[in-house]
Amino acid sequence: MKYFLPDSKDLVDPTFDFRRETRSSERIRHHDDHYAHEVFRQEGRVFDGLLVSKAVVEGTGAASQAKYTQHQQRRILREGVKEFFRLKDHPWGPIECMGDCGAFTYVKEEEPPFSVDDVIDFYVKCGFDYGFSVDHAIIDYKPQWDTDLFGSAVPPNVRARQDLTLKLASDFYATHKTNKLSFTPIGIAQGWSPSSYAQAFADLQKIGYRYIALGGMVPLKTPEILACLRAVGEVRLPETKIHLLGISRLPHLQTFESLGVASIDSTSPLRQAFMDDRDNYHTLERSYTAIRVPQVQGNFRLEARIRSGELDYDKTRKSEQLCLRRLEEYDTRRCSMAAVLKALRAYDEIHNPERDRTESARQVLEDSPWRKCGCAVCKQLKHHVILFRGAERNRRRGFHNVAIFYQRLEALTCQASASVSPKAAESTTFLSA
């Protein structure tokens, strides 16, 4: 099973000084900063490819904000996706690229903001290996609608979204075939139930697709996803591959693979580093909560409380710096855990007295998992990787999580025998000290 990491402009600054929290004044963000595949360039592969959305690059219209500047938009169209992301001649070997529309960004619109020709033009100019058909996401999962023999329980607008997605997929495939385009077309099935997904899947196979994605499943619970996959399995041709859009449910990936899933994409491992309340740092055995040491300078909430007179700047800043100093001393074995926890609790009493994170901090300090990990992130950052503090630390922790996720994925999808495939062995070598 292949894992594609969705692009959301996650880069880190290699010049960032974690002790002084400064960066080079000459740094140019996209030119000098590193993507995950550059951070791990000399180590084992941590994903199979990238997924890039047209909506992320160009936005979805006048009311939306694209994440790419106009200069970057022009450059990715001019140079192509592999040149833009510096993927060529990578030590890992080929890194494949998928292009999609980003349907969840326009889910509230009546129709997709892109035409088939718009999307194909984007895929061709960028030089993608795979291109998803234009779709319109269905966010309602209501299997009970199918109990009506005549189908009248399905809201007209929901059925219209599925019909439109299939029509656009048909037009997409026809244009691809007529023009003999080089990328592999992937049709997208949208549905509101196992049977509706199966019907859409069957229709896409009749059109000619042999690679089909199941969309709109991010909000679904795992048993619901499995029910849809089993229903799809009743109509799936042996040669048709399945892609799950936005799904990473690690404990169930072996089952997904047995039901025909050949690839997945998800930002969850990366996002959990700074968006999850507890599971921020991943290891093969468990997850840890990162230690919160919020910045005083540049932190909107703390600065607002200081300006209002609720907090004293000098006292807050002194407490913050003491935490950082104690953590560094602990990592170099010059300070006891008790001293670190005392400093952390004192700072918590200032910035967040309602939450006592002492126990979670005790667990991660006691285990010190970064000392056992040999990945590029942990070797460079040491204890900084476990600090919930600023984008440079948080993103790197996310990169570490992606590496761990890929290693676990490889282990799960190995053959049932105890032997480890060469690919899996390669990807695991740097993650143990």
Give the amino acid at 16.
F
- In this structure, how many other beta carbons lie within 10 angstroms of the beta carbon of residue 49? 21
Catalytic residues: 100, 265
110-140 exposure pattern, b = at least 16 Cβ within 10 A, e = fewer: eebbbebeebbebbbebbbbbbbbbbbbbee
386 within domain boundaries: no
User: Does the residue 145 lie in any domain?
Assistant: yes
Is the domain of 218 the same as that of 328? no
| Inside any domain, residue 355 | no
Residues 71 and 218 in one domain: yes
Please give the tally of structural domains in the chain.
Answer: 2
* 260 shares a domain with 299: no
Quick one: 166 and 246 in the same domain? yes
Q: Can you give the pLDDT at residue 413?
A: 77
Residues 208 and 301 in one domain: no
Dump pLDDT digits (tens) for 254-272.
999 999 999 999 999 999 9
Q: What pLDDT band is residue 241 in, cutting at 50, 70 and 90?
A: very high
Expressed as residue numbers, the domain containing 92 is 48-266
Residue 126 pLDDT: 98
What's the pLDDT score for residue 221?
96
Q: Are residues 176 and 306 in the same domain?
A: no
Q: How many whole angstroms separate alpha carbon 127 and alpha carbon 182?
A: 9
Task: Name the region of 23 (left: φ>0; alpha: ψ -120 to 50; beta: rest).
Answer: beta
Give me the pLDDT at residue 56, please. Answer: 94
> What mean pLDDT is predicted for residues 200-215?
98
Residue 204: pLDDT band (50, 70, 90) is very high
Predicted TM-score of the model (pTM): 0.93
Q: What is the mean pLDDT of the chain?
A: 92
Res 307 pLDDT > 90: yes
Percent of the chain with pLDDT over 70: 94
- 29 within a domain of the structure (yes/no): no
Question: What average pLDDT does this structure show over 86-105?
Answer: 95
- Are residues 258 and 317 located together in one domain of the fold? no
Kindly report, residue by residue over 352-386, the tens digit of the pLDDT: 888 899 999 999 999 999 999 999 999 999 999 99
End-to-end CA distance of the chain: 27
d(CA 190, CA 199): 10
- Greater confidence (418 vs 90) lies with 90
Q: What is the DSSP letter of 39?
A: H
Question: What are the beta bridge partners of residue 243?
Answer: 213, 263
Distance CA 356, CA 106 (A): 40
Instruction: Report residue 147's pLDDT band, with 50, 70 and 90 as the boundaries.
Output: confident
pLDDT in tens, 125-139: 999 999 999 999 999
Considering the domain architecture, whether residues 306 and 262 belong to the same structural domain is answered as no
Residue 62 has a pLDDT of 57
Does residue 201 surpass a pLDDT of 60? yes
Burial (0-12, 13-18, 19+ Cβ within 10 Å), 254: middle
Q: How far apart are CA 102 and CA 403, in angstroms?
A: 24
Q: Mark whether 216 and 336 lie in a shared domain.
A: no
Predicted local distance difference test score (pLDDT) of residue 319:
97
How far apart, in whole angstroms, are the C-alpha atoms of residue 363 and residue 368? Answer: 8
pLDDT band at residue 422 under the 50/70/90 scheme: very low
In the predicted structure, residue 148 carries a pLDDT above the cut 90: no
**Quick one: average pLDDT of 102-118?**
93
Mean pLDDT, range 151-173, rounded to an integer:
94
- The pLDDT-based confidence of 415 (bands split at 50, 70, 90) is very low
What is the pLDDT at residue 63?
Answer: 56
In this structure, the answer to whether residues 300 and 262 fall within a common structural domain is no
Residue range 36-66, pLDDT digits in tens: 999 999 988 999 999 999 999 999 875 567 8
Q: C-alpha distances in angstroms, 7 versus 4, 35, 80, 106, 122?
A: 9, 10, 15, 18, 16
Same domain, 254 and 319: no
Determine what percent of the chain is predicted with pLDDT higher than 90: 86
What CATH number has the domain bearing residue 159? 3.20.20.105
**Residue 157 shares a structural domain with residue 231:** yes
pLDDT at 151: 66
